[in-house]
Each structure stands twice: as structure tokens, then as C-alpha cells.
Structure 1
Amino acid sequence: MTTSWDEAFANRYEEWSAHMTADVAFYTELARGADGPLVELAVGNGRVAIPVARATGRSVIGIDASPAMLAQARRRAAEAGVELELREADLRDLALDEPAGLIYCPFRSLLHLPTWADRRRTFERVAASLRAHGRFAWNAIAFDHRLAARLDGVHQDAPVPHTIHYAVGDSRIDIVRDDGATSSLWWATKNEWLGLLDVAGLEVEALYGGFAHEPFTDDSREYVFVARRRY
């Protein structure tokens, strides 16, 4: 299994993700309206799953390939007094005992899958794991070449000291912390995401430019997708 995740990245993940808060209410709203099990892909430290479980009064199945992140999620859920069913697994091998009403993947985590084949396999497993008309939601960056030109190779101190490198030919972003921990992301275009939905038998319910349901426009820098299983 090829992975872009360095387990050393987990030790300061809470600081790294602290700025990302707007998505919690968005995914919680979807969870409240879901008929069937709730599943979070790349659950990480439970940043979203814990408030979703608290708000809905339901358990959330959390899938992640990182033992270090799952250990954090387990501890945080216990401290919060909520129930998470945490599973160490590859997203590309998603399999559920019961079809889900909602599967969601926050914080651009699908971008850790490096190839079209990896994403297609994941989308097909998601479609097979949803109830009829069940929802799949995720968010991802819309690549901005102007931002990339400003940030490429420039050291940044926040949220933790790091440098970002852009490998344009591979559509890859490498995030390298000063202590050597590395995480890589592979960006995708809107048409690539739409193609993945099509081959998996899913259809777009909504595409937003932000978590407050902002319209997606030519100037949007975030894809916020909500899709449905067709039948």
C-alpha cells in the first residue's frame, strides 16, 4: 500500500488542524438528516466525528489507516463521553456491515490518495457502502496557481513551522515540517471529481464554494461536494 501519510505528522496534528472549524457544522447538519449509519473517512483525531456524535446522539464509524491518529481519536472521544466505532483500515478497502446513510471525508483527506485509480476504487467502495439515495460528502482544494507561486518553497511559522513545495507535473503538494515530518496531497480538478462520481454511480446533489453553502464560482478555492447514490 502506498501512503502519503507520515505517522510523525500526528504528534502536532491538533495544532495543524486548529484553524479548520467551519466544516464541523456543515457535516453535522448532513449527519442530522441522515437515515442510517454515519461514517467518517480519514477520521483523524475525531475533530469532526466527536461533535457529530454529540450533536446527533449517535455513534460514528471512523475509518483511518493511521494508528497514531486513531489513538488520539479514541482518547478524545472518551474524554468527550461520546461513542465512536474506530477502525484501522484503508479507505480503498471500505466495507461496512450495514449500508450507510452518510459517508463523509473532511479536511481534504481524499487528496492523500495519489492516483485516479486509488480515488476511483475509493468512490466505488463508497457507492457500494451507501443506502439507496445515501449521501457522500467531502471537501478539497481548488488549485490556485497564483497562491502556489507565492507559497512554493517559502518557510512559514504557522500553524507549525513548515515549508510547502509544489510538484506541478505530478499535481502534488509536499508539506514538510521543520522536524522532517512530511505529508503529501494530490490536487484534482472539478471535472476529475465529477468523473469519479460518474464512474461510481453517484450524482451531484450540490457543489459549494464553502461551508456556509456559498455558490461555487470561478473564484472559489474550495470544493465542497454533496453527492447521492442514484438508487
Structure 2
Amino acid sequence: MGEPFYSDAGLYDRLFASGKPAVDFYRAAADRRGGSVLELGCGTGNKLIPIASDSHPSVGLDLSTDMLAEARRKADELGVDVDWVHGDMRQFDLARTFDLVIVAANSLLHLHDAQDLVGCFRSVRRHLAPGGQLVFDVFNPSVRMLAQADGVRRRRDALSFVDPGRGAVHVDVAETYDAAAQVTRGTWYFSTESEADFTVLPLEIRSIFPQELPLLVSRGGLRLVERLGDWSGGPFTADSAVQLCICEPD
């Protein structure tokens, strides 16, 4: 489930700071649907806090207590009311329903087994109010990129960021791809000019290919009603980097 990678909430927020298009997409989805919102794998609340600030009753569920603590701190600082819940998206029971359930930022890809994904979709199905929707994003796997996961450590310049205490932080990643499991197994190295590898973290991410995705959703009692290919709402194509999926009860 990738827990060690999410043990430092501040590091996570600095690493993935440029998420405004995704925030805008989910915020607009909540406004169109109206009513209450549940986010699974809510992390530090980067998507859910703006949604809650638009007067949507909101619940955020996450397995990482560190991420939830930071989410609670940020929401309290902004005076935004969110119910933060420690739980596992594979199976949960919140004893209520929601008009919209979202799973953002590839969070579903921490569920490596098909049965875990189906379990998550079934739990979502039980928590959807009449007319409710599930909206989530996962990347569109590139066979070319998966083939390049050869275990060699490489610099990811696009992931560099500035840490208030350390200065410029560089990120290196070494990945291998397990084709049988459809899982990319990576090691992420964080360094500065004066402190090499001050943090080293594992991260394992599943791939969900476009043709299998509707089948997994269907086994969970949902149906894929629309799939978009970018944050502006463009159509999904073979070249799309992301699968933005809108699902309803079957």
C-alpha cells in the first residue's frame, strides 16, 4: 500500500506541489454533482480542502496517520470543516452515503491485487447515494516507459523542489517492472549538494490498462460511463497520459 512513501507529509507536499489542474477538475466535479463528498486516499487534503471550502460536506479517508495529521492541520488553519477518517480504501464502512466519491492522484494504483481493487469499488458502491458518482484518475500505462524500467538510477529533474531547511532537493528514481503483477517497483532517492540520499523510499505502483479497467469497475457493481484524457475534459485516446474515469452504480 506504499505507506513508507507517505510517512513524511511535508516532503510529499513539496514533491507534488504542482497539482492545480487536478484540483480544479475535482472541484468542478463536486460543484456539478452537489452534495456530500468522500475522498479515498485523501493524503494531506490538497484536493478535498478546496472542495470543502466550497461548502460541500466532506470526508477524507486515508491509511497514513501522518498524512491525515497534516490534512487536519491545514484544514484547521484555513477554518475548513472536514471529517478526517483513518481507514483502508480496500474495505470500509462509514455508515452513510455520499453524492460523490473521488480517488485522486493515482491512489487506486497502490492496490496491486485485482481483488483489492474490486473490494474498493464494492465499498464505494455501498457508499453512493442515489444518483451518486465515483470519479477517479489513474495514469494510462505506456509500454515504452514500462520497458525502460531497467533498475538503473536516473535523475528526475521535473521532480526537483526546494526544501525550506535543506535548499534544492534532487530526486533520483530506480525502477523495475514486474509484468506478471503489472507492478512497477521503484526506489526514490532524495539528495542535496551537501547531503546525498538523506531519504530513500520504496514505491510500488500498479498499472491498470484501458481494456481491463471497465471490467474491474464492473465487478465492483459500477459501470464506467465516461473516460476523459486530460484535466480540461478532452477525450481519452491511446496517447492520453491519464485516464479520468466517471462511474455510476450498475
Name the CA distance, whole Å, in 1 between partners of 2:7 and 2:94.
29
Is 1:163–1:177's contact at 8 Å kept on the other side of the alignment? yes
Give yes or no for the alignment of 1:162 onto 2:172: yes
Residue from 241, 244, 247 that aligns with 1:221: 241
Residue from 179, 182, 188 that aligns with 1:177: 188
Give the length in aligned residue pairs.
Answer: 227
Name the CA distance, whole Å, in 2 between partners of 1:123 and 1:94.
11
DSSP-derived class of the 1:102 partner = strand
Partner of 1:34: 33
Name the CA distance, whole Å, in 1 between partners of 2:209 and 2:231.
19
Structure 2 unaligned residues grouped into runs of 5+ = 161-169, 190-198
Is 1:58–1:83's contact at 8 Å kept on the other side of the alignment? no
Is 2:34–2:56's contact at 8 Å kept on the other side of the alignment? no
Name the CA distance, whole Å, in 1 between partners of 2:113 and 2:107.
14
Is 1:135–1:229's contact at 8 Å kept on the other side of the alignment? yes
Match for 1:120: what amino acid? V
Residue from 205, 210, 214 that aligns with 1:194: 214
Name the CA distance, whole Å, in 1 between partners of 2:183 and 2:231.
24
Give yes or no for the alignment of 1:129 onto 2:114: no
Partner of 1:60: 58
Partner of 1:49: 48
Match for 2:212: what amino acid? E
1:44-63 Cα shifts (integer Å, max 9, x gaps): 00010011111x21231000
Structure 1 unaligned residues grouped into runs of 5+ = none
Residue from 115, 137, 145 that aligns with 1:139: 137
Q: Identify the structure with the greater helix proportion.
A: 1
| Further displaced range: 16-25 or 133-142 | 16-25
Backbone CA RMSD of aligned residues: 1.7
1:97-149 Cα shifts (integer Å, max 9, x gaps): 22110000000100001100100100011011101221001000111122334
Quick check: which has more Rg, 1 or 2?
Answer: 2
Tell me the CA shift for residue 5 of structure 1: 2.2
DSSP-derived class of the 1:177 partner = strand
Is 1:123–1:200's contact at 8 Å kept on the other side of the alignment? yes
> Structure 1 residues 51, 164: CA separation in 2 closer, same or farther (over 3 Å shift)?
farther
Name the CA distance, whole Å, in 2 between partners of 1:217 and 1:9.
35
Give yes or no for the alignment of 1:17 onto 2:28: no
> Structure 1 residues 150, 9: CA separation in 2 closer, same or farther (over 3 Å shift)?
farther
Q: TM-score, normalised by structure 2?
A: 0.85
1:41-92 Cα shifts (integer Å, max 9, x gaps): 00000010011111x2123100000001001101111112111100000001
Q: TM-score, normalised by structure 1?
A: 0.91
Partner of 1:85: 83
